[in-house]
Amino acid sequence: MYLITFITSIPAVFIFYAPVLTDPRSILGAGADNSVAFGAFLELILIIANIGTAVVLYPILKWQNEILILGYVTARVMECVFIAVGILSLLTIVTLRQEATAGADAASLLTAGKSLVALHDWTFLLGPGFFVGVGNGLLLGYLMYTSALVPRGMAMLGLIGGPLIIASGVGVLFGVIEAGGAVQSIATIPEALWELLLGIWPIVRGFNPSAIARLEHEAQ
Rounded mean pLDDT of 21-36?
82
Q: What are the residue boundaries of the structural domains of the chain, listed by start? A: 2-219
Q: What angle do CA 67, 73, 76 make, to 5 degrees?
A: 140
Gyration radius of the chain over CA positions: 20
Instruction: Answer for the pair 105, 127: CB distance below 8 angstroms, yes or no.
Output: no
More confidently predicted of 218 and 122: 122
Is residue 51 exposed (0-12), middle (13-18) or buried (19+ Cβ within 10 Å)? middle
Report residue 12's pLDDT band, with 50, 70 and 90 as the boundaries. very high
Helix 152-173 to helix 189-204 angle (10° resolution) is 150
pTM of the model: 0.92
- Report pLDDT digits (tens) over 32-58: 889 999 999 999 999 999 999 999 999
- Report pLDDT digits (tens) over 142-187: 999 999 999 999 999 999 999 999 999 999 999 999 988 999 999 9
Instruction: Answer for the pair 27, 112: CB distance below 8 angstroms, yes or no.
Output: yes
- Report pLDDT digits (tens) over 52-102: 999 999 999 999 999 999 999 999 999 999 999 999 999 999 888 887 755
Q: How far apart are CA 216 and CA 220, in angstroms?
A: 7
Q: With b meaning 16 or more CB within 10 Å and e meaning fewer, what string describes 124-155? A: bbbbbbbbbbbbbbbbbbbbbbebbbbeeebb
- Report pLDDT digits (tens) over 97-148: 887 755 567 788 889 889 999 999 999 999 988 999 999 999 999 999 999 9
